[in-house]
Amino acid sequence: MNRLLIDVGASSIKSVIQENNVLDIKTEYVTESFSTKHGDKFNSEIIIKEFISHVERQFESLSFKEIWICSEMHNFTLFDTKSMEYSDFYSWRYTSSESDLIRSKALDNNSKHHEISGQTLFQGIPFINMFESCNGNSSQKVLSLPELIVHKYGKSFDAIHDSTAASLGCLDIKNKTWLTSDLKYIYPNANFILPKVFGNDEVPLIGEIKIKSNKINVFGGFGDLQTALFGAQISNEDICINIGTGSQILAICDPNLEYSENYDVKPFFGKFLKAISHIPAGRSFNFIKNKICKDKNFWQNLNEAQKTLPDNYIPEFSLNIFNSNWRYDDENHKNILISFKENHLFYEILLKSFCNEYLIALKKIDPNNKYKNLVLSGGKLKDIKYVKDFFSDIKNYSIKPKKHKLILDETLIGLNMLTKIYN
C-alpha cells in the first residue's frame, strides 16, 4: 500500500510518497506555504485549496490510499455550528492588541497554567487569540490545521493528536484533558467544542478525504516539531537544536522532576520534551534582509562571514525583533540598522548575536550539564560555516551525527518511522 507523507510547515509544504513501506525519494515535492504568501491571518479556504492542489499533484505521480500529516503548530480556525461558517485561519505569528490583557487575566485565574499546560502564554497562542473570532451565541468547534482540512474537505472524526493539542495552550499535558475551567474563565459566554485527544496507544486516524473520487484516510495531525525530532532519533542524552523559521532547543525530560519556568514542556510520543521556543532564526533573518539591509547578497555575505571578533565580544543587539521572540526587545530594530550602516563587521556580528542566543538557552535548559550531545536539525541556517563552527566549539557537548543517510527533511523521515510503529 502507498502513503503520502506530508509536512505542512510555516515556510513550505513538503511531501514524499511511501511505496509499499519504502520511501520513493524521487517523488519528493515542495511548494510554498500559504503562511508565507498570505500572512498571519487569512481565509481558511486558502489552506484547503493549496493543500489539495499539492496532494492532487502527488496523486497523479503515484496513487496512494493514506495520508500521514504533520503541520506547524499553535494555529486554529473556529467552526460555528449555527451559521456553519469557518473563521479565518490564525497562525502562531498573529498577535492582537488584546493579547497581553487576556494573558494577564489567564495567569491571575490559574497561577499553575504553565506547569499544567506546559505552554508559555505567548501572544500568538490559540488560547489567547480565540477571542477575536469567538461567537458567544453558538457552539464552535476548535480546529487545528490538520483537523480543519478533514473537517472542511472530507469527514472529520473529531480527534487530535496530543502533540498538536498541547500547542493550543489549554491542555493538561499529563492527563490529556482540556482545561475547560480556564477556557470558561477567559471566555464565559463561549461554548467551545474540543476534539478527543489521542493517546499514544491509539492509531491516530483523524478523518478521510476524497482525491479524484478515491477515499483517502488521513492519519496523524502530529506537531511538526515532535515529528522532526522523532526523525532525528534523539536519545535521553541529546539536546536537539532545531533551526527553521523559528528555532527551538529541546531535550527529553521527566516533567514531574524537571519542571521549570525557564522552559516549556511538550508531549513527545509517550515521553515529554523540555523546550525553549521562539528563539529568533529564519523569520528574523528574512526580516533583516528585506526590511533593514535590503541587500541582494545577504545570504552570500552570511556564508562568507569569518570569525575575527574575540569570544567575549558582546553584540550591541539581538535578533529578538518580533514580540513573540523569547527575549523580545523593541530597541533591536534600531540597533541592527545602526550596526548595518556603521560597522563593516556587520554580518559577523549578526551571526555572533544569533549564536549567542543558543548559549543563553543552553544554560537555561541544561544548567547542570546533564546532556552529552547536540543534535542539529532544520534548514539552511545551521549549515552556514560560522554557525557550524560555533556549535562544534561549544564545550561540554559533542555534535551527534545523523543516523539516517536519506536526503530528506527530518519531518518526512519522522512520518515514515511513525507509519511503521502504528501499522
DSSP code string of 277-289: EEEE-HHHHHHII
pLDDT in tens, the chain (423 residues): 999 999 998 778 999 999 999 999 999 999 988 877 888 899 999 999 999 999 999 999 999 999 999 999 999 999 999 999 999 999 988 888 788 888 888 888 888 999 999 999 888 899 999 888 887 778 999 999 999 999 999 999 999 999 999 999 999 999 999 999 999 999 998 899 999 998 777 889 999 999 989 999 999 999 999 998 898 889 999 999 988 888 899 999 998 888 899 999 999 999 999 999 889 999 899 999 999 999 889 999 999 999 999 988 999 899 999 887 889 888 888 899 999 988 999 999 999 999 999 999 999 999 999 999 998 887 788 889 999 999 999 988 999 876 655 567 889 999 999 999 887
Q: What is the pLDDT of residue 406?
A: 55
Q: Which pLDDT belongs to residue 155?
A: 96
Report pLDDT for 96: 81
Specify the pTM.
0.88
Amino acid at 360: I
In this structure, the number of other CB atoms found within 10 A of the CB of residue 407 comes to 7
What pLDDT sits at residue 52?
94
Closest CA to 31 of 5, 54, 6, 59: 54
The residues, any chain, with a CB within 8 Å of residue 169's CB and separated by 6 or more, are 74, 117, 119, 121, 125, 126, 127, 128
Enclosing H/E stretch for 318 = none
CB 5 within 8 A of CB 416: yes
Return the pLDDT at 142.
96
Residue type, 60: E
Give the pLDDT confidence score for residue 67 in this predicted structure.
Answer: 98
pLDDT at position 37: 82
Q: What is the pLDDT of residue 10?
A: 75
- CATH number of 2-224+409-422: 3.30.420.40, 3.30.1330.30, 3.20.20.70, 1.10.760.10? 3.30.420.40
**pLDDT at residue 404, as a whole number:** 59
Distance (Å, whole) CA 235 – CA 213: 43
Phi, psi of 339 (to 5 degrees): -65, -40
The span from the CA of 264 to the CA of 274, in Å, is 6
Domain range list for the chain: 2-224+409-422, 235-402
**Same fold across 2-224+409-422 and 235-402:** yes
H/E stretch holding 60: helix 45-61
User: Residue 367 CB: number of other CB atoms within 10 A?
Assistant: 10
**Calpha distance 270→256 (Å, rounded):** 14
pLDDT for the residue 405:
59
Architecture of 235-402 per CATH?
Answer: 2-Layer Sandwich (3.30)
